Amino acid sequence: MTSKPQISDASDTPRILVVEDECFVRMVAVDMLEDAGLPVAEASDADAALRLLEGTAQAFDTLFTDIDMPGSMNGLALAQRVRARWPHIRLVVTSGRVRPAGRDLPDAGCFLQKPYCRSDLLGALARAA
């Protein structure tokens, strides 16, 4: 069952889209970002993220996605699609199982190994171009 994308900040400020199928991991990532004062939206898989982007892509400046997810595509495929369609969105991908080769990441995308702490996450967001 795919959950409905959720937006945790209703302002027009560009925000980070967190895509993670593990509810607890997604909640922790969202909390880290919100505690740093960053507005966040969340989705449980790539399909939910794309639905959210279709309607409000200009509202996002960063995609932070897990690689291993159920659904029609994994996080690397999602990142590739986002880069092709919305090149203004910065990309950070994460995984605790897969370490992608540089050629697997879209141009200027950044990889963050799980587990990560808040400073690691914020650093990866800063490095993403």
Q: Render each residue's pLDDT in the chain as its tens digit; 129 residues.
A: 444 444 444 455 669 999 999 999 999 999 999 999 999 999 999 999 999 999 886 789 999 999 999 999 999 999 999 999 999 999 999 999 989 988 888 888 999 999 999 999 999 999 996
The correct answer on CATH 3.40.50.2300 for the domain covering 6-127 is yes
How far apart CA 8 and CA 85 sit, in angstroms, is 24
Which residues on neighbouring strands pair with residue 6, listed in sequence order? 42
Each domain of the chain, given as residue ranges in start order, spans 6-127
Q: How many CB atoms lie within 10 A of CB 19?
A: 30
Task: Pick the closest to residue 40 from 69, 62, 68 (CA basis).
Answer: 62
CB 54 within 8 A of CB 100: no
How far apart CA 88 and CA 53 sit, in angstroms, is 12
